[in-house]
Every structure is written in C-alpha cells, then in structure tokens.
Structure 1
Amino acid sequence: MTPQLQQAIRLLQLSTLDLQQEIQEALESNPMLERQEEGEDFDNSDPLAEGDSLTLTSPQEIASTSSEQHEAQLEEGEWHERIPSELPVDTAWEDVYQTSASSLPSNDDDEWDFTSRTSSGESLHSHLLWQLNLAPMSDKDRLIAVTLIDCMNPQGYLEETLEEVLEAFDPELDVELDEIEAVLHRIQQFEPAGIGARDLRECLLLQLRQLPAQTAWLEEAKRLVEEHLDLLGSRDYAALGRRLRLKEDELRQVVELIQRLNPRPGAQIESSEPEYIVPDIIVRKDNERWLVELNQEAMPRLRVNPQYAGFVRRADSSADNTFMRNQLQEARWFIKSLQSRNETLMKVATQIVEHQRGFLDYGDEAMKPLVLHDIAEAVGMHESTISRVTTQKYMHTPRGIYELKYFFSSHVSTAAGGECSSTAIRAIIKKLVAAENSKKPLSDSKIAGLLEAQGIQVARRTVAKYRESLGIAPSSERKRLL
C-alpha cells in the first residue's frame, strides 16, 4: 500500500470528531494548509489555489481535481522539478516526508487548553471525599471514612465486610469494630441516598429512611423491604398481599413507592466525559423526494495557501526549499484524501437512503433487509471499504440520528416467500410488549406465535435474542400489578 492509500484509509475510518481533530492538527503543523472562514473570499488567481481548494458542501463541490490538472498547474508555476504523484508501494510516510501532524506536540502552544484536555467527569470517590471534607470528624474517624470510601464500588455498595476493613488497619491505631460501624452510618447519610450499603435490602432501607415521614405507605414499604424483599423479587404479589395484609390497590402503591428508589445509587454520579455525536450526513425530504447532503458544519473548507506555495523555488535543493516542497505535497495529498473520504461517504449514504425509503417514511417496521454486499455491489467498492465508511458515521434523519450500521440487518423469511429485516421484527416485538397485559405478559413462545400469524417465521430462541437486544426483560420479570 502506498502512503497516499494508507492515509486515505485512515481518514476514511475516522469519526467526524476524530477527523476534525486530525484536520486541526494538520492545519497547525503544515503551513501550506489553510482554512477558509465563512464569508472569506480567497484570491483564486493563483493556479494552486483553484486546484487544491476543498469545499465540503455538495457532491458537485467536492469533486476532486484530476492529477493531469495538477501537473499542468505545476508547469505554470515557478519551478520545473515536479513532485512525484505516487510513492513506491509499502513506503513509509516518514521515510520521505517529515513528521506528520499527529506526531507533532501541541502542548507547547500558548493557547493549549490544559483543562479541556485533562478534565473528566466527577467520580463517586471524589464526590464522597468532597462531602467528607465538609463533615466535622476526628482524624481517626476520617481515616476510617477514607478507607470505607475506598472499599466502595462504582454502584455505591461496600464491597468489603467490616471485619475485613478492621484487619486492614495497623493494630497500633487501636481501631475497634464499633468505631468502623459508627463511621459507616455517618457516610450512609451522604448523598446520593443509599450510598455505603452492604446489600440491596440495606440500600433501599437507607433511601426509605430519608423520605419525609408523611410519605404515603412509607411504613409498609419499609416492612416489605426488610422482611419480604425476596417475594418482591419473584413477583409473588399474592403472597405479598397476604403477608402484609394489603389489598391489591394498596399493595400496588407500596410497590410503586419502592420502584421509585435507585438500586444503584453510585451510578448517579457521572464518572466519564459525555460523548457527542456530530452527524456526517443530513437527510431531508423536499417535494416528496429524499435529499442526501454532507453536513456542511462538520468540517472546515481547506485549500493550499497560495502565498506559501509560491515560495517554492525551482532547481533549489536547500533544506528550506525541500521542507516546503514536502509540506506542499503532504497538503495536496491530505486534501485529496478528504475529497475521497467524502465522495465515498456520499455514495454509500445515497444508496442506503435509496434502499431504506420505507424506514424514512414509515419507521422501523418498514426497514428492509440490507447487508454490506448489497451496498458494495451498488457503488462498485469492496465490502471492507463499506464497513469502514459505516463505522462511527452518523446520519441525521427526521426520525433521529442513526449510525449508518443501523440500516444494515439480516433477513427472516415470510410465509409469502418474501423477506423481513431483523430490525423490523425487533420493532414489532417492542410494539407487542408495549401493548401486552402487564398481569399476563407475553412469553417468547406467544410472541413467536403472534409473529407467525403475521406471516413472519421466527423461532422462540430468535425472539428471545431480539428481546434481549432491546433490553426487554423475560415475561416472568415483566409481570406488574395493575
């Protein structure tokens, strides 16, 4: 593989956010590249400026300039020695050109933002330590508290027993088990409610005890959690009603109160950076036609800087001139790679929209079966290329933002001899479960029977697999009180 092809493949598989970072690093490291700001008018009199400009707005605007045009432009320049358009196969980029943008350090820039590159979401550990610093406590109790906090998992539960925590202390500190338990009770008053529990029962009780005393059915909820949590887990509502001596409507309100509690209180504290999605493709309907466009705001408009390109002198082999020549060629190849990426993305997205018009018009249930081979055959590319294009690339549609891979799904035969996509079957299963009787939820076998009645032949195990992929619990766990 030539360095040009290696770069094109690497850019092709980058997500939009990663590509924006790659472009920014290229702009910072290569003086031959420049960005066109909105409303800025470049001087197009320079031959290189016109040939190497890149406007990411439409398929017509992103059409690449042919290599013959580039050669003609070089002949009109101020040098005769031509830069090679191709490098030998398996040549490393660093063997010919100086370090690329990604390898250049950017932390010595005066505008380098330390906070944006090192900050992360607050962790449960730091959140609890922050509250601990505000609590009046002796040095010995504070040491115990820090140890207990270190023993908590991200869900907020204490993973070690108090005896194991006691063994971790130096005997000279003279720490007693009662002291550890007393400090634990203080930590259990921290936010979020339910933190520091040793099991689910204690976690729910801690949250119930922090509710206002006038909360309806509070005492019954405490009794249920403390004495009959196993019956609630098995959804044996008849036995629960008898044990608590409650009618069905009363029991339902008690259960609803418990269901409002959080069994994983530590998960409320976000510990990771939020991930943002920038769509690469925008699909909209205009006069009954679906239009496919590249996201104009996803990437900047790039071109070769005509002023710096004019500094390259003919028949000059000095170090400065060689460096500028290398930077010029690297800029041209980078722009070509971007053009190739966006042309390929447009071709693939257009074919996907053409194939999945039913989904855009009617939703998931109208999704058609689609595999990589279908798109690869339509656009005349290899399946591996289609796989790279559809990975971490997103399409904005009137129905929401979807990864391009979402539109690909296997098929299931129908009674009429046709095919139904797995995505459509999942949508039907979700619809059936949403409309089921919560007292008698549909089993996987029953759902398979209902699908068969619609002409879709699906085995019970396949239904179970689709149901699990949708995050829908089994019928035994979906049983509810009306």
Structure 2
Amino acid sequence: MKTTLKAQMSQQIAMTPQLLQSIRLLQLDSLRLEQEVRRMLERNPLLEQEEDEEDVVAEDTNPRAVIDEDEPDYAWERGAHAGGGGEDEDAMARVADRPHGDFRAALLEQFALECRAPSELALAALVLDHTDDNGYLEVPVAELAALARAQGLDADALETVRQRVMRLEPAGCGAADLSECLRAQLDGRDGVDPLAHAIVRSHLALLAAHDLPALAAALGVDRDRAAAAVDRVLALDPRPASGWGAAEDAVVVPDVVVRKQDGQWRVSLNPRTAPRLRVNAALERLMGEANGPGEHAVMRELLQEARWMARGVAIRNDTLLRATTAIVERQHGFLERGEEAMVPLTLKEIADAIGVHESTISRVSTGKYVQTPRGTFELKHFFAVRLNGAEVGGSAVRAMVRKLIDQENPAAPLGDDAIATLLARQGIRIARRTVAKYRDQLRIPPAKVRALTGNGRGYARSA
C-alpha cells in the first residue's frame, strides 16, 4: 500500500456564532425580537438600550422612495391586512399573521437545539428558505441539493437534515409532496397505523374520490377498518404551516411606515419595533483599564456578547429599512393606484439592489409588516410572480378581474372566456383557467350562478 498526499481546494461557508445570531435576528418578528432584547438586557449588564426614538437612517439617492428621518405617527392596525380600499390578499403569496412568529423561524430554533454541527443548521435553513407558506418545498429535492452544493454545503447530508426537519413541529414542513407530508405527521403520532400509512403512500386518489369500497378492497380489509383508517388520515393537516399561530383578530404593529410627503414616498422604521442597542461606555472603559491574566474573564465574555447583539440588531434594522426602500421604489405604482399597478418582483431583484443574498431578503420580509396609505401588508405581499403572456403580476391581474366583474351588467354577467378576451385587449393574454383561478380566489361564483342571483358585483365587493 502506498501513502500519498493530495491537495484539494473547496469552498465552504463558515457559520460563526456571529453569523448564526445575525441570521436568527433577521427572521424574528417584532414581538420575538422584543422578547429577545429584553432577555439580553436582563442578563447582560454591559448592554443597554438607547432611550431616544430617532429612526434608523441610511443613505438613499432614489427620488421615488426616501428614507424618512422624521418620526411618523404610527397607527396600530387590526388584522394582517387593514384598510386601503378592501383589496383582497393572496394567501399563497404571504405568511399569515402569527403572534408567535413565522413557522420557519420556529422550526429553525427547534432544529438548533438538536443539530450536531453548524453545517446541519445551514442545511436546515436552506430547506426552510425554499419552503412555501403551506409547508411544501418550492423546488425539487435534486435542485435543492444543487443549491446546497453551490453554497459549499454538504449536499449528501441534505436529505437526512430534511427528514429531521419534517419531524419537527409543525410536522410535515419541508415535504416534497402531500404523501410525504402526511407520512411525516403519521410517524410523529403514538403507535404505528399501517392502514393509514398505506392510504397516504399509495391510495390518495381513492381517498380524494371518497370511494370507500374501492379503498377497502385495495387495503384488503373490511369497510369499517378502512373507514377508521380514513378518519385518522383526515385528521392530519395537508397544509401544516398555513395555520401556524394564526390569529384573525391579532393586533399587528407595523415594522416600517411608508407615507407620501412633498411628492416623495418616505420610508421609516417604527422605533417601537426597531430597538437600538449599545454597549455601556463606562463599563467598557473600566474593562479596558483592567489588566492581569484571567481577570474579569466572565465580564469579557459579556462584553463580546453585548457587542455582537448590538451589531446584530443594527444589521437587522438596516437591512429591513434598505429592503423596504427598494421594494417601495419598484412598487410605487401600487401605492399610488392600487393592486392593478402591482408589478412582477422577485427576491433576487431586491437582493441584487441592496447587495445581499436572496435568502436574506426572504428572512427579512417574512413576518415584517409595512404600513402604507392603502393598508398594512406583510412585505412578502409586494413580491409578485410574472405571468406568462403578461408584463404584470398575479395580484394585478386578479384586481383587474375583480374590477371587470364589479362593472359588469348584472343581467348579463361576464364568463371566464369573456374576461380573458377583455384582458387580452389590454395586452394581458392569459388562459381561461387562470381567470377562473383568480375568480375563485376572490370568492366570486361563475357567471351562471351570478346570473341567477343577480348580485355579481356584490360578490366582488365582499371578497
């Protein structure tokens, strides 16, 4: 046997404690950030909070959106979306209001308690960054592995980490499909139910068809046992993340306020949700004067911790402010004219505009709310996917569908084909089924039903 030496170069991400803390602070909502700051202030005498309420200021040169240095008049809104003309939000484009934080942050915190290495935590963060608001992966597992490899992470360990994430609470998040999501929930329950497992693994089509005799035959059991297994499956949640901590009447305090002043859109942080921390200068000076090996070792650790915390909070505030400003610059049409003027926007566009990774924008836009003259929205609301055949996003097209139905003749309601034709005349060429999808999201019945009830416009207004 011959022993040889071989040099090999590779790229890896070093997840330092400072980086992990910055990532965690970015994804905290205002309530959890307040709790974290209070906890740190209580345990670390070297850390203190600035009492003034001056807004965090960053330089901006775009004439459409200006970072405001004046303290605005903040109003507390009820519900995840308040005021502003009654426009309906796309539940698939935002995370519901959660008083206990976003499910991604909660899952990452759970995983951090049991992870064996920082690289595993980075893989878990990657999985959750690409998990939609219902709890499912937005990209195929193979593509996710390629992303991990491109970021210098261990792609071979990705699947193991993903399976562990799916076993956390809420169970099933990070699943590639419905079957995998339901299996993860069954695995977390007391006792093994082979019939329920068999249904979610191989017979979901029969379950969806409510064909109990065929399902019993496929399972090889009588109808009573099949019915009992069906009941256990129906008790599972096919969208494990959609209702995480949702509170319909919860109070939402905006993290950012946008208002128009002197013809310009001004963006400012809410000082109530953007604390400013600093290290106690007097104690820091005393520690600098102290000498002797081993002296004040505990205080030095507290000093380092205080510096990290103050810097982490400052980075979070600065990133949130710059990201919101970039969003306002691109979506000023929405602020002035409403949903119909919402333009397509991606996380990558905002990330490139402020010089950060798109995963950073994903974290900072989740669970953060912005108050505008049109209402209070989660930042994720402003990211719209470009539709094929149109230069506008789905939110704008949905608003156009609502407007056409609102203006239709109640005696001769517009069918989905007619709406698609009218949109095509405006340069927006979409399929009839796309019109039907948006009409369903607006909770507006088909033209035949509206013709019978005679209140098509009433449905549109109440949606």
TM-score, length of structure 1 as denominator length: 0.49
Equivalent in 323, 326, 348 of residue 348 of structure 1: 323
Equivalences for residues 58-77 of structure 1 within 5 A:
58-59=57-58
What CA distance in whole angstroms lies between the structure 1 residues aligned with 2:453 and 2:249?
34
Q: Does 1:374 align with 2:346?
A: no
Residue in 2 that maps onto 1:314? 291
Equivalent in 399, 408, 415 of residue 427 of structure 1: 399
Q: Over residues 20-51 of structure 1, what are the superposed CA-to-partner deviations in whole Å (9 max), with x where a residue is unaligned?
A: 12111111121111223349xxxxxxxxxxxx
Q: Does 1:410 align with 2:385?
A: yes
Equivalent in 22, 26, 30 of residue 44 of structure 2: 30
Q: Does 1:16 align with 2:30?
A: yes
3-state secondary structure, aligned to 1:381: coil
Equivalent in 262, 280, 285 of residue 287 of structure 1: 262
CA 1:439/1:11 → structure 2, altered by over 3 Å: closer, same or farther? same
Q: Over residues 127-182 of structure 1, what are the superposed CA-to-partner deviations in whole Å (9 max), with x where a residue is unaligned?
A: xxxxxxxxxxxxxxxxxxxxxxxxxxxxxxxxxxxxxxxxxxxxxxxxxxxxxxxx
CA 1:326/1:473 → structure 2, altered by over 3 Å: closer, same or farther? farther
Q: Does the Cα contact within 8 Å between 2:331 and 2:382 map onto a contact in 1?
A: yes
- Structure 1 residue 302, shift from structure 2 partner: 2.0
Q: Does 1:393 align with 2:368?
A: yes
Residue in 2 that maps onto 1:470? 442
Residue in 1 that maps onto 2:10? none
Equivalences for residues 255-294 of structure 1 within 5 A:
274-294=249-269
For 1:34, give the aligned amino acid: E
- Structure 1 residue 273, shift from structure 2 partner: 8.1
For 1:284, give the aligned amino acid: R
3-state secondary structure, aligned to 1:410: coil
Equivalences for residues 196-215 of structure 1 within 5 A:
none
Q: Over residues 427-469 of structure 1, what are the superposed CA-to-partner deviations in whole Å (9 max), with x where a residue is unaligned?
A: 1111122223445433322221221222210101111222223
Equivalences for residues 47-446 of structure 1 within 5 A:
56-59=55-58, 90=118, 274-312=249-287, 313-318=290-295, 321-412=296-387, 419-446=391-418
What CA distance in whole angstroms lies between the structure 1 residues aligned with 2:429 and 2:16?
49
What CA distance in whole angstroms lies between the structure 2 residues aligned with 1:327 and 1:401?
38
CA 1:481/1:305 → structure 2, altered by over 3 Å: closer, same or farther? same
What CA distance in whole angstroms lies between the structure 2 residues aligned with 1:453 and 1:316?
79
Residue in 2 that maps onto 1:480? 453
Q: Over residues 217-274 of structure 1, what are the superposed CA-to-partner deviations in whole Å (9 max), with x where a residue is unaligned?
A: xxxxxxxxxxxxxxxxxxxxxxxxxxxxxxxxxxxxxxxxxxxxxxxxxxxxxx9684
Residue in 1 that maps onto 2:429? 457
3-state secondary structure, aligned to 2:395: helix
CA 1:91/1:458 → structure 2, altered by over 3 Å: closer, same or farther? closer
CA 1:406/1:327 → structure 2, altered by over 3 Å: closer, same or farther? same
Q: Over residues 292-335 of structure 1, what are the superposed CA-to-partner deviations in whole Å (9 max), with x where a residue is unaligned?
A: 111223233322123433453322425xx222111111011001
What CA distance in whole angstroms lies between the structure 1 residues aligned with 2:416 and 2:308?
55
What CA distance in whole angstroms lies between the structure 1 residues aligned with 2:55 and 2:336?
28
Q: Does the Cα contact within 8 Å between 1:3 and 1:91 map onto a contact in 2?
A: no
CA 1:466/1:315 → structure 2, altered by over 3 Å: closer, same or farther? farther
CA 1:430/1:24 → structure 2, altered by over 3 Å: closer, same or farther? same
CA 1:456/1:280 → structure 2, altered by over 3 Å: closer, same or farther? same
What CA distance in whole angstroms lies between the structure 1 residues aligned with 2:299 and 2:256?
35
- Structure 1 residue 340, shift from structure 2 partner: 1.0
Q: Does the Cα contact within 8 Å between 1:56 and 1:301 map onto a contact in 2?
A: no
- Structure 1 residue 277, shift from structure 2 partner: 1.5
CA RMSD of aligned residues (A): 2.9
3-state secondary structure, aligned to 2:252: coil
What CA distance in whole angstroms lies between the structure 2 residues aligned with 1:322 and 1:440?
80
Q: Does the Cα contact within 8 Å between 2:345 and 2:383 map onto a contact in 1?
A: yes
Q: Does the Cα contact within 8 Å between 1:56 and 1:300 map onto a contact in 2?
A: no
Q: Does the Cα contact within 8 Å between 1:412 and 1:457 map onto a contact in 2?
A: no
Paired residues in the alignment total: 259
Q: Does the Cα contact within 8 Å between 1:413 and 1:420 map onto a contact in 2?
A: no
What CA distance in whole angstroms lies between the structure 2 residues aligned with 1:34 and 1:296?
15
For 2:291, give the aligned amino acid: R
Residue in 1 that maps onto 2:150? none
- Structure 1 residue 370, shift from structure 2 partner: 0.9
Off by >6 Å, runs of 4+ in structure 1? none
For 1:275, give the aligned amino acid: A
Q: Which runs of 5 or more structure 2 residues have no equivalent in the other structure?
A: 1-14, 60-66, 68-116, 121-245, 456-463
Q: Over residues 94-139 of structure 1, what are the superposed CA-to-partner deviations in whole Å (9 max), with x where a residue is unaligned?
A: xxxxxxxxxxxxxxxxxxxxxxxxxxxxxxxxxxxxxxxxxxxxxx
Q: Does the Cα contact within 8 Å between 2:344 and 2:391 map onto a contact in 1?
A: yes
Q: Which runs of 5 or more structure 1 residues have no equivalent in the other structure?
A: 40-54, 63-88, 93-270
Q: Does 1:5 align with 2:19?
A: yes
